[in-house]
């Protein structure tokens, strides 16, 4: 699964929480996206690496899309600071803050190593995998950091956080 921009807009909890409730640290959820003409919902999933089943470039645990909702599609958000993970458990995940997204079945973190890329019609794309990148103090590296952005993407230039605000009459610079 190669991607630079992760266009997942559907963060659904799977524990019976009401629609519209905020995502919480330690809560199981699924990442979903609609695909193509059918508007069918596809979920981000992963499974253990085997001799035949692994990521194309890095040969680590692969991530894939599936239409079937199962435990392979469950993820959890964890606090970036390992010292505060227990204290943050159950609290809402603020948007635009860095988090760790962990696969529930394999306990591996969602990652983009940025060393394996593919050139497509959309430009340079990176492989998305499940792997725990840890430093010498056994803390996750920035390859495992993710942000949930709740803003609308704007004009062509700039990062997501630097993009302009979308208004009915046009874009407004910040």
Query: So what's the pLDDT on residue 154?
Result: 55
The top-level CATH class assigned to 10-172 is: mainly beta
Confidence class for position 53, pLDDT limits 50, 70, 90: confident
Residues 128-170 pLDDT 10s: 899 999 999 999 999 999 988 776 555 554 455 554 455 555 5
Question: What does the chain look like in DSSP terms, one character per residue?
Answer: -B-SS----EEEESS-PPTTPPPBTT-EEEEEEEETTTTEEEEEEE----SS---TTT-SEEEEEESS-SGGG-EEEEESSGGGHHHHTTSBPPTTSEEEEEETTT--BEE--SS-EEEETTEEEEB-EE---B-TTS-B-GGGEEE---SPP-SSSS-TTTSPEEETTEEE--
Query: So what's the pLDDT on residue 152?
Result: 57
- The mean pLDDT value for 42-68 works out to 88
pTM of the model: 0.77
């Amino acid at each position: 699964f190669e991607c630079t921009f992760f266009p997942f807009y559907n963060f659904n909890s799977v524990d019976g929480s009401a629609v519209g409730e905020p995502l919480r640290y330690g809560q199981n959820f699924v990442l979903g996206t609609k695909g193509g003409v059918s508007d069918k919902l596809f979920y981000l999933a992963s499974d253990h690496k085997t001799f035949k089943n692994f990521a194309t470039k890095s040969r680590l645990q692969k991530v894939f899309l599936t239409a079937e909702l199962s435990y392979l599609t469950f993820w959890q958000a964890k606090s970036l600071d390992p010292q505060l993970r227990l204290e943050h458990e159950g609290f809402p995940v603020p948007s635009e803050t860095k988090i760790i997204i962990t696969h529930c079945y394999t306990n591996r973190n969602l990652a983009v190593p940025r060393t394996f890329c593919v050139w497509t019609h959309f430009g340079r794309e990176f492989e998305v995998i499940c792997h725990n990148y840890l430093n010498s103090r056994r803390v996750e590296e920035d390859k495992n950091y993710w942000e949930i952005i709740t803003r609308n993407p704007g004009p062509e230039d700039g990062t997501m956080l630097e993009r302009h605000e979308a208004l009915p009459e046009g874009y407004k610079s910040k």
